[in-house]
Amino acid sequence: MAIRVAVAGASGYAGGELLRLLLAHPEVEIGTLTAGGNAGTKLGAHHPNLLPLADRELTETNAAELSGHDVVFLALPHGHSAALAAELGDDTTVIDCGADHRLNDPEAWTRWYGGDHPGTWPYGIPELPGGRDALRSASRIAVPGCFPTVSSLALAPAFAAGLVEPEAVVVAVTGTSGAGRALKPHLLSAEVMGSASAYGVGGAHRHTPEMVQNLSAVAGEPVKVSFTPVLAPMSRGILATCSAPLRGDLDVAAARKVYLDAYGDEPFVHVLPEGSWPQTSATLGANTVHLQVAIDPDANRLVVVGAEDNLTKGTAGGAVQCMNLAKGLPETTGLPLAGIAP
């Protein structure tokens, strides 16, 4: 029997990417599609690329519309998921692509998002230690942020193996789709094209506590993270340069062995051959993270560069991967390994 799926927030970028992937999923039947201000319009007005669903009408986002589905994806802004999810029964698997349930620490939630902590759900990076066990048969899942996905996967093996000191620097270049579909003057093409700009500088980006949470759990001790995102003139993709000070002598061959041992059997995380470096174009539309490992001997630092598509592995693809685990399907079902090029 097909898994009946609803998508809340279907008119946005994350919702559209979810639907693109779900259309290719052999075990899924796409049910209700909801939106906020776009309720009452046709999906094709927002995602003309989704031709098989173009005539579907978007309905209001509420529990009555979403009830009765096997899986509900919430592609909503932070602060909008918790109350809605509370109205859906445990017989519905709710997968939150927003931030409401990612953080373990209530104080961190209040600091970074404000208000009362809505609670913590199993965290959706299967490739992290213990990640798959937490997701199997889960009825509530928190999908990670796009930056924490690539940066956590880039640094986790090094912290798990004790190769580096408990601090990291992450500089990640990203496309404009990560900011969502709402109109913002600084994301107009005239402002973005031909320019790159840093934002959220000095520990101000809300994905920072997620990176700290993930890497501290892997390291077994508190890890400090300095994170700087950079907006680049592209629609989608993240290229993250992640580094940490070495604890002792380490050559690149030994570092690569740690990473190959960690990810050698992973279907979606690929350590590239020596001399090959990640590029966002190679992950476009694919549920993959590409990594390369280097040692900077003069600075005595491990450097790991990672690339992903922020809308696929960084959001919607990761969400479908979690659904597959929660529903007992092969983890790779319906998820592309091949990117789109050129």
Residue 309 in tokens: 């598509």
pLDDT of the residue at 183: 58
pLDDT of the residue at 181: 63
Using CB atoms within 10 A of its CB, is residue 120 exposed (0-12), middle (13-18) or buried (19+)? middle
pLDDT at 190 over 90: no
The residues annotated with a catalytic role in the active site are 146
Average pLDDT on 93-115 reads: 94
CB atoms within 10 A of CB 302: 28
- CA-nearest of 104, 100, 213, 90 to 140 is 90
pLDDT digits (tens, 9 = 90+) for 127-153: 999 999 999 999 999 999 999 999 999
Determine how β-strand 301-308 pairs with β-strand 238-245: antiparallel
pLDDT digits (tens, 9 = 90+) for 42-83: 999 999 999 999 999 999 999 999 999 999 999 998 888 999
pLDDT over 70 for what percent of the chain?
Answer: 96
Name which of 162-166, 193-197, 200-204 the model is least confident about. 193-197
Using CB atoms within 10 A of its CB, is residue 186 exposed (0-12), middle (13-18) or buried (19+)? exposed
pLDDT of the residue at 282: 97
pTM (2 d.p.):
0.95
* Average pLDDT of the residues of the chain: 95
pLDDT of the residue at 79: 86
pLDDT over 90 for what percent of the chain?
Answer: 89
pLDDT at 214 over 70: yes
Determine how β-strand 71-74 pairs with β-strand 3-8: parallel
Name which of 198-202, 276-280, 313-317 the model is least confident about. 198-202
Average pLDDT on 250-255 reads: 96
Band the pLDDT of 31: cuts 50, 70, 90: very high
Strand residue runs (E) in 151-288: 167-174, 197-198, 224-231, 238-245, 269-271
Average pLDDT on 261-283 reads: 97
- CA dist 132 → 90, 141, 164, 278, 286 (Å): 20, 12, 25, 25, 20
Band the pLDDT of 177: cuts 50, 70, 90: confident
Band the pLDDT of 115: cuts 50, 70, 90: confident
Instruction: Return the H-helix or E-strand segment holding 154.
Output: helix 146-160
Structural domains present in the chain: 3-144+314-327 (3.40.50.720), 147-308 (3.30.360.10)
Contact 303, 244 (CB under 8 A): no
